[in-house]
């Protein structure tokens, strides 16, 4: 120890001078984490360089790299390479972000759930007398503040690139060689079809081989099929046009929900086993193997268990702008090959059940993690 | 109170009445008090029926060999693990029933102090101060200054030496302005200068009116630092009390005389009215069984003279004068004291013999 240090040992300021004035407002028994606890946990996570770089690469770096490379190709050889983004690229990037986002968020959660323990700081925290539940709960907003910000930033870059670096927006949708104007709602599409009976019938083929033999027959066929026609029109429009602000918002919220689920489950699972690597690998297996396999199709007598998979629920909640909702195998399927539309998928789950399943995963794993933290030997 | 009652898990809420009853039970003014505290790990008993009383305002050593259960007792006191049976209180407040309140004025280092290596010392303290709340955040700088880490506070802890981490651990203890500090092996990893400074700091803390309980297997450090001690072996406290009671300091005056023939000198001194004996490496002359009664030339023979009155200095002067006047060559006369190590070794030897 240096001489300076030695002097400080003997003569340093006395913490006695900072005695608590009167009875302290002691909230250490409260289960609610203080803003300072959340802030310092956020600091602890933010300062983990490897974790932050990995998270940054897969949330922001990956879309930036894909768009950047495509834009460079386009700038150097516009004839061979199209614009950096188009609606298809938007969908693909969102799919990859969902897959990697889930895994990164799970790893982030597992890290947040185990580092105090593995670094030997948990016992220091327990000795403060602070409620162990509060110590656990502080990790949720701290980690989500980082993850949701980075996920949102990555998605915002994709959206901006889609709007500003994408193809010029067409004014019509090509339906079997017929140009149908874009941005029609169902009523206006019906009006347009009545005014352009021959083209409309060709475009959507809903009245057989002789579509305009009888106006009455046309009217009847149109009335019977307008809902199906409109779904087909919307689907084709989505593949042609950049997603609108509302659709982008839906997709962004879906990605954020995916990250939130993965983080809280990873946090709870990490706390439960106290081991980051095993928790992360388990989450990857769940995401890229188990969920895609079980979300493909109904298995007799097993379908209700299949429905409990959070990935299968997220599959069904996938916004229309990101493609077919059913049978794609969850967000993780992008990594192992999308089983794709055309697979039968699981029987749709009611909305209330989906909300309950997602809530159950988040709350259930949080309870498990918190319970383990409260009873663990420190 | 049932001293054998099983303990609830940490954070388990208890009724105010129960807590008040236990508070009254422990209102004896001890900084740490345990009754019948027991902790098993499978078939092994780490803490066995420990009744411990640590007086306030003292430096108290919890002394025992490695594996004696020192750290387990501390972990149990702090709620890091649960007791199987028994009761305990910190600063008169029963734990774990009112753990948060008790720990408000307790600082502790358990095992080697470990921190987030990727954060600086100051950031680690911020993390702990945030958990502690109150004025803890404002005590970070003074605490770092006090343990001599102010200059390195903004370096990453990953680059700290063991001694620096010990000091950072002590700074973490000071964040709560503790009345009681519980330090587990605080001298570990410190060089001699660091140990000296740690000792001085502990004494300063005691002089400020705080209680410091430290565990150690370093007998000399405990003897130099502490006022009282509990000696533990195989999870059981085999003795507790002031160190002076163990070493006999302040009871009898005793001197050790170095001379060529201790046996002859002892005879002269006995004839002159002194109480004298010759030790042969731990056994006295009778036990050694020297046939001719002479100890001349025996390398480990020492002459010990004791007196129930006066000081060791007075006794040394009288013995020296008596021997010189009788024509005995005296190489040296010095105070003879029983060290804690002597006592500890004799006790552990006895225990070994009994087993």
- Best to test chain B binding among A3, A4, A5, A133 (most B CBs inside 10 Å): A5
Which run of H or of E encompasses A211?
Answer: none
Min Cα separation A186/chain B (Å): 57
Q: Do B149 and A5 touch (CB under 8 A)?
A: yes
The size of the A-B interface in CB pairs under 8 A is 179
* Structure tokens, B116: 């987030």
Using the Cβ of B104 and the Cβ atoms of chain A, whether some distance falls under 8 Å is answered with: yes
Digit-coded pLDDT (tens) for A64-123: 999 999 999 999 999 899 888 888 889 889 988 998 999 999 999 999 999 999 999 999
Q: Do A126 and B127 touch (CB under 8 A)?
A: no
* Structure confidence by residue, pLDDT tens digits, B247-292: 665 567 788 898 888 888 998 888 888 888 887 754 444 433 344 4
| pLDDT attached to residue B239 | 85
- A40 interaction partners in chain B (CB closer than 8 Å): 123, 126-127, 130
- Average pLDDT of span A30-47: 94
What three-state secondary structure class fits A166? strand
Say which residues have a Cβ less than 8 Å from residue A102's Cβ, sequence separation at least 6: A258, A259, A261, A262, A283, A287, A331, A332
Chain A residue numbers touching B133 (CB-CB < 8 A): 26-28, 34, 36, 130
Interface contact A4, partner B, CB < 8 A:
yes
Tell me the longest C-alpha to C-alpha distance in chain B: 79
**Any CB–CB contact under 8 A between B133 and chain A?**
yes
C-beta atoms of B163 and A132 within 8 A:
no
Residue position matching structure tokens 């195989």? B234
In B, minimum Cα distance to A26 occurs at: B134
Contacts of B108 in chain A (CB under 8 A): 127
Rounded CA separation B131/A222 (Å): 68
- With CB atoms and an 8 Å threshold, state whether B134 touches A36: no
- Cβ-contact A345, A295 below 8 angstroms: yes
Cβ-Cβ contacts under 8 Å, A127 against chain B: 78-80, 103, 106-108, 110
Encoded tokens for A167: 């193809």
Locus of tokens 């208890």: B14
Distances B224 to A153, B86, B192, B195, B268 between C-alpha atoms, Å: 60, 32, 13, 11, 36
- What three-state secondary structure class fits A85? strand
Sorting pLDDT into bands at 50, 70 and 90, what band is B343? confident
Q: What share of chain A is helix, strand, coil (3-state, %, to 5)?
A: 70, 5, 25
A46 touches chain B (CB under 8 A): no
Beta-carbon separation of B100 and A129 below 8 A: yes
Residues of B in contact with A126 (CB under 8 A): 10, 78-80
Give pLDDT tens digits for A367-378: 999 999 999 887
Residues of chain B with Cβ-Cβ distance to A115 below 8 Å are: 116
Q: Is the distance from CB of A273 to CB of A279 less than 8 angstroms?
A: yes
- How far apart are the C-alpha atoms of A97 and B278, rounded to whole Å? 86
DSSP, collapsed to helix, strand or coil, labels residue B231 as: strand
Nearest-by-Cβ selection for B100 from A9, A29, A119: A29
pLDDT score for A305: 85
Three-point CA angle B7, B38, B8, nearest 5°: 5
Q: Which of B130, B137, B164 to mutate to test the interface with A (most CBs of A within 10 A)?
A: B130
Range with lowest mean pLDDT among A33-37, A317-321, A369-373, B8-12: B8-12
Q: Residues of A numbered 222-261 whose beta carbons fall under 8 angstroms of chain B's beta carbons: which are they?
A: none
Percent of chain A topping pLDDT 70: 85
Q: Does B132 contact A at CB distance below 8 Å?
A: yes
Inter-chain touch A37–B131, beta carbons under 8 Å: yes
Q: What are phi and psi of B44, to 5 degrees?
A: -85, 135
Instruction: Please choose, from the candidates A147, A144, A113, A143, the residue with its C-alpha nearest in 3D space to the C-alpha of residue A45.
Output: A143
Cβ–Cβ of A135/B208 closer than 8 Å?
A: no
Least confident of A13-27, A141-155, A278-292: A13-27
The ipTM is 0.77
Contacts of A47 in chain B (CB under 8 A): 116, 118-119, 123
CB contact under 8 A, B143 and A5: no
Q: What is the pLDDT of residue B289?
A: 37
Positive or negative, the CA dihedral B230, B231, B234, B238 is negative
3-state secondary structure (DSSP) of residue B192: helix
Which B residues 20-49 touch A at CB under 8 Å? none
Is the pLDDT assigned to residue B123 strictly greater than 50? yes
Question: Pseudo-torsion of CA A30, A35, A38, A39, nearest 10°?
Answer: -150
- Pairing of the two strands B180-184 and B211-216: parallel
Whose structure tokens read 């990857």? Answer: A284
Give the nearest partner residue to B133 out of A28, A47, A377, using CB atoms.
A28
Minimal-distance CA residue of chain B relative to A33: B131
């Amino acid at each position: 120890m240096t001489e300076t240090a030695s002097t400080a040992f003997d003569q340093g300021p006395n913490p006695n001078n900072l005695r608590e004035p009167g009875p302290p407002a002691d909230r250490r028994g409260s289960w609610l984490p203080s803003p300072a606890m959340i802030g310092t946990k956020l600091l602890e996570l933010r300062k983990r360089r490897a974790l932050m770089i990995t998270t940054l690469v897969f949330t922001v770096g990956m879309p930036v790299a894909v768009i950047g490379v495509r834009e460079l190709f386009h700038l150097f050889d516009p004839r061979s390479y199209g614009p950096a983004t188009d609606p298809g690229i938007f969908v693909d990037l969102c799919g990859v972000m969902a897959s990697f986002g889930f895994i990164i968020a799970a790893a982030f959660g597992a890290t947040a759930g185990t580092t105090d323990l593995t670094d030997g700081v948990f016992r220091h925290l327990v000795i403060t007398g602070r409620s162990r539940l509060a110590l656990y709960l502080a990790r949720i907003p701290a980690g989500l503040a980082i993850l949701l910000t980075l996920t949102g930033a990555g998605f915002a870059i994709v959206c901006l690139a889609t709007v500003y670096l994408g193809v010029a927006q067409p004014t019509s949708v090509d339906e079997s060689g017929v140009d149908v104007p874009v941005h029609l709602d169902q009523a206006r599409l019906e009006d347009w079809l009545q005014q352009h009976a021959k083209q409309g019938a060709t475009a959507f083929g809903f009245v057989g081989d002789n579509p305009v033999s009888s106006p009455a027959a046309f009217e009847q066929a149109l009335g019977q099929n307008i809902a199906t026609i409109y779904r087909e029109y919307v689907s084709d429009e989505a593949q042609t046009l950049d997603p609108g602000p509302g659709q982008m918002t839906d997709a962004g919220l879906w990605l954020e929900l995916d990250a939130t689920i993965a983080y809280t489950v990873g946090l709870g699972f990490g706390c439960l086993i106290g081991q980051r690597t095993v928790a992360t690998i388990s989450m990857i297996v769940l995401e890229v193997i188990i969920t895609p396999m079980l979300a493909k199709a109904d298995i007799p007598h097993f379908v209700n268990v299949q429905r409990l998979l959070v990935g299968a629920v997220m599959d069904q909640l996938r916004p229309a702008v990101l493609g077919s909702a059913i049978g794609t195998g969850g967000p993780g399927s992008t990594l192992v090959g999308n089983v794709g539309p055309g697979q039968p998928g699981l029987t749709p789950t009611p909305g209330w059940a989906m909300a309950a399943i997602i809530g159950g995963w988040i709350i259930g794993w949080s309870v498990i993690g918190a319970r383990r933290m409260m009873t663990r030997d420190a | 109170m049932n001293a054998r009652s099983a303990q609830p898990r940490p954070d388990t809420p208890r009724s105010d009445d129960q807590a008040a009853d236990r508070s009254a039970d422990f209102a004896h003014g001890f900084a740490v008090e345990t009754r019948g505290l027991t902790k098993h790990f499978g078939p092994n008993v780490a803490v066995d029926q420990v009744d411990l009383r640590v007086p306030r305002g003292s430096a108290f050593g919890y002394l025992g060999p490695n594996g004696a259960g020192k750290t387990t007792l501390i972990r149990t006191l702090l709620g890091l693990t649960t007791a199987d049976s028994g009761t305990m209180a910190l600063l008169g407040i029963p734990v774990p029933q009112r753990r948060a309140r008790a720990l408000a004025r307790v600082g502790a280092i358990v095992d080697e102090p470990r921190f987030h290596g990727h954060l600086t010392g100051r950031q680690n303290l911020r993390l702990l101060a945030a958990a502690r709340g109150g004025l803890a955040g404002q005590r970070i700088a003074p605490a770092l200054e006090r343990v001599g880490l102010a200059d390195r506070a903004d370096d990453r802890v990953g680059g700290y030496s063991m001694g620096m981490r010990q000091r950072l651990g002590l700074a973490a203890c000071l964040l709560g302005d503790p009345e009681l500090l519980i330090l587990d092996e605080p001298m570990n990893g410190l060089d001699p200068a660091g140990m000296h400074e740690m000792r001085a700091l502990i004494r300063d803390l005691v002089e400020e009116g705080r209680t410091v309980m430290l565990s150690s297997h370093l007998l000399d450090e405990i003897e130099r630092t502490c006022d009282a001690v509990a000696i533990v072996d195989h999870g059981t406290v085999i003795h507790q009390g002031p160190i002076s009671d163990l070493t006999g300091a302040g009871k009898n005056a005793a001197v050790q005389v170095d001379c060529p023939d201790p046996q002859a000198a002892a005879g002269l001194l006995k004839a002159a009215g002194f109480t004298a004996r010759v030790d042969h490496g731990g056994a006295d002359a009778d036990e050694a069984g020297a046939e001719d009664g002479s100890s001349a030339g025996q390398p480990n023979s020492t002459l010990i003279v004791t007196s129930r009155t006066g000081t060791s200095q007075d006794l040394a002067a009288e013995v020296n004068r008596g021997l010189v006047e009788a024509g005995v060559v005296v190489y040296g006369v010095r105070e003879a004291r029983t060290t804690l190590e002597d006592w500890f070794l004799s006790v552990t030897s006895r225990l070994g013999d009994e087993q």
